[in-house]
Amino acid sequence: MNSEIRAVFRVDRNDFQLNAELNLPGHGVTALFGHSGSGKTTCLRALAGLERFPGGYCAIGDTVWQDEQRGHFVPTHQRSLGMVFQEASLFPHLSVRQNMEFGQKRASTATNRFALPEIAHLLGIDHLLDRSPAQLSGGERQRVAIARALLTTPQILLMDEPLAALDHQRKREILPYLENLHQELSIPIVYVSHSPDEVARLADHLVLLDQGRVKASGPLNEVLSRIDLPAAFGDDTGVVITARVAEHEADDLTRLEFTGGTIYVSRISQALGTPMRCRIHARDVSLALVPQVHSSILNCVNASVVELGATDTPGHVLVKLDVAGNPLLARITRRSAERLEIRPGLNLLAQIKAVALLA
Amino acid sequence: MSEADLSAIWLTLKLATIVTVVLLIVGTPIAWWLARTRSPFKGVIGAVVALPLVLPPTVLGFYLLLVMGPNGPIGQFTQWLGIGLLPFTFTGLVIGSVFYSLPFVVQPIQNAFEAIGERPLEVAATLRASPWDTFWSVAVPLAKPGFLSGAILGFAHTVGEFGIVLMIGGNIPEKTRVVSVQIYDHVEALDYAQAHWLAGGMVLFSFAVLLALYTFNPSRKKTP
């Protein structure tokens, strides 16, 4: 089923402005990323039909949900969507099972429905079905809320900062389940977040919102590696590279390989061939013109300079590199850039001081 | 206790029960509207509903008497319908009591609806529940404590009314003579012993009702 989303929302109020044109792919996880007040949650609510703006337009695949020029508006309860809010918002008067059945029994009896036991298993809540929501931890509640939304077999799943209300421990508990969803269900997910970590870990596509406007939109790395947007991520500027586990070596290191070379990380338990998402911060990449044999830095890949850009601190520049087709960002001092005469087209070596494994 | 006393008690309970049922039916939509509306008339309607809290019952009774009387609009309408005039009938008493106890039922239900907030209703909408469905399957169950308080207060307040009964009900045995009026009669006849039975009974009843309200009402409910 085609679930591509096209939407236009415009609001012009004294306290809030939104001028967003969204084209979201009908597969994978699309992150709506921005600071608070950027309009990301408002966009999500408008997609769900919980907010209605004059002149708005919203269509998913061939189904038009909103076309105000024709006076057309499908109310939320008639839209094939699932939504997970920041707080789990389980119905306190119903058990976990009844919460999950609430949407399931109201959804139209379309084909390809998910079964409750299957979804409960996927989210690890099998043992909680007969409890009341008040007896669950924050992470468990949020998993039930996700299961409840999925059981309506929605055409799209909307998630509004589902982890923001949870502490660090609960986030770590719930993230693997979100990755599971991604891999096991073919439902496109629109994920609102202000956390660069979550975006790097989960997203395939990224929409960058700032003050109600779409600043950038596209595949994750394409947006992450744009050097004209450094302020969006600040110190977290960097790219995500997918590498496969190639070998577990004797000295407790694991070798990962990607098209641009090899990366060593501390030994991990994943089987050979497992794809791993690695986040490489621009601040952890340094540049050298000749191989550094007398250096402790193990990870070093061949790269060519694509372009240079400003960072949020005047003493530094951001260098966009190409590593056999993979983008990489390096943040170095302006002084070093001038001393090494770094310019577009220059071939050099990128030394990677740290790699964050995401999954 | 005399035959007349028992008949007054029976009539009081009958009146309070009917009034409570009518108030739940009439008061719920008003409470829902007041809790959810952004209309500029919210203040006006809210104030009208709350009027009986501050008005002397005699004022309310006086105007109801005029409106339902032979020259009042409702009086003419009921005569046109062929059911005669409502003052000094049980039906008239029910109508007067409904007005008089309205805020005691509307306000707890309204507060309970407001306490639910927007979120559970939005969640229900994203789970395919229509607004009507959401009202019955989410809003009403979550507002249950408010309905309980409203029903108890409406019932108890109707049992305890006096002024409005005198104004539009009169003092007709087995039709409009309720306990509070009966007590008044006993006192007027200096029959304090009889008055004690009923008055003491009212004190016990009222205390029991309020005790039940404060003990069993789960006002500190958790919303996960």
ipTM for this prediction: 0.86
pLDDT for B124-172, tens place per residue?
Answer: 999 999 999 999 999 999 999 999 999 999 999 998 888 888 888 877 8
Mean of the pLDDT values across residues A4-20? 88
Q: Copy the structure tokens of residue B68.
A: 């339902």
Distance of alpha carbon A161 from alpha carbon A192, whole angstroms: 5
Q: ∠ CA(A56), CA(B32), CA(B209), 5° rounding?
A: 155
Is residue B221 domain-resident?
A: no
* Cβ within 8 Å, pair A91-B221: no
Q: What CATH class has A238-357? A: mainly beta
Sheet holding A316-323, edge to edge: A285-288, A347-352, A299-310, A316-323, A326-333
B96 is a domain residue: yes
- H-only helix segments in chain A: 40-48, 96-104, 116-122, 138-150, 168-184, 196-202, 220-224, 230-233, 334-339
Report yes or no on B54 lying in a domain.
yes
Check residue B221 and give its pLDDT.
46
A77 and B128: CB-CB below 8 Å?
A: yes
Q: Which two tokens stand for residue A337?
A: 């850039």
Our CA-based measurement puts residue B6 at a distance from the nearest CA of chain A, in whole angstroms, of 42
pLDDT one-digit tens code per residue, A182-234 = 777 888 999 999 888 889 888 999 999 988 899 999 999 889 888 887 567 77
Average pLDDT, chain A: 90
pLDDT in tens, A71-98: 999 999 999 999 999 988 999 999 999 9
Angle between helix B57-68 and B90-116 (nearest 10): 120
Cα B155 to chain centroid, rounded: 6
Distance CA B167, CA B92 (A): 11
Classify residue B224: in a domain, yes or no. no
For residue A311, give the 3-state DSSP assignment: coil
Express as a percent the part of chain B with pLDDT over 70.
96
Confidence band of A350 (pLDDT split at 50, 70, 90): very high
- Chain A contact present for B115, CB below 8 A: no
Is there a domain that residue B223 lies in?
no
Q: Does A86 touch chain B (CB under 8 A)?
A: no
Name which of B8, B31, B194 is nearest B106 in CA terms.
B31
- Dihedral sign for Cα atoms in the order A82, A86, A88, A91: negative
What is the pLDDT at residue B217? 65
The amino acid present at A240, given as its one-letter code, is V
Please tell me which residue of chain B has the smallest CA distance to A144: B224
| CATH number of the domain encompassing residue B151 | 1.10.3720.10
**Chain A stretch 25-64, residues whose beta carbon is closer than 8 A to a beta carbon of chain B:** 48-50
CATH number among 3.40.1280.10, 3.40.50.920, 3.40.50.300, 3.30.1330.40, domain A5-224? 3.40.50.300
**Residue B49, domain extent:** 3-216
Q: How far apart are CA A159 and CA A146, in angstroms?
A: 9
Kindly list the residues from chain B whose CB atom is less than 8 angstroms away from the CB atom of residue A92. Answer: 142, 221-224
Q: Categorize the per-residue pLDDT at A131 as very low, low, confident or very high, splitting at 50, 70 and 90.
A: very high
Q: Provide the whole-model pTM.
A: 0.85
Structure tokens, A330: 């390096």
Chain A residues close to B126, C-beta within 8 Å: 48, 50, 76-77, 81-83, 103, 149
Partner-chain contact A93 B120, CB within 8 Å: no
Domain boundaries in chain A?
5-224, 238-357
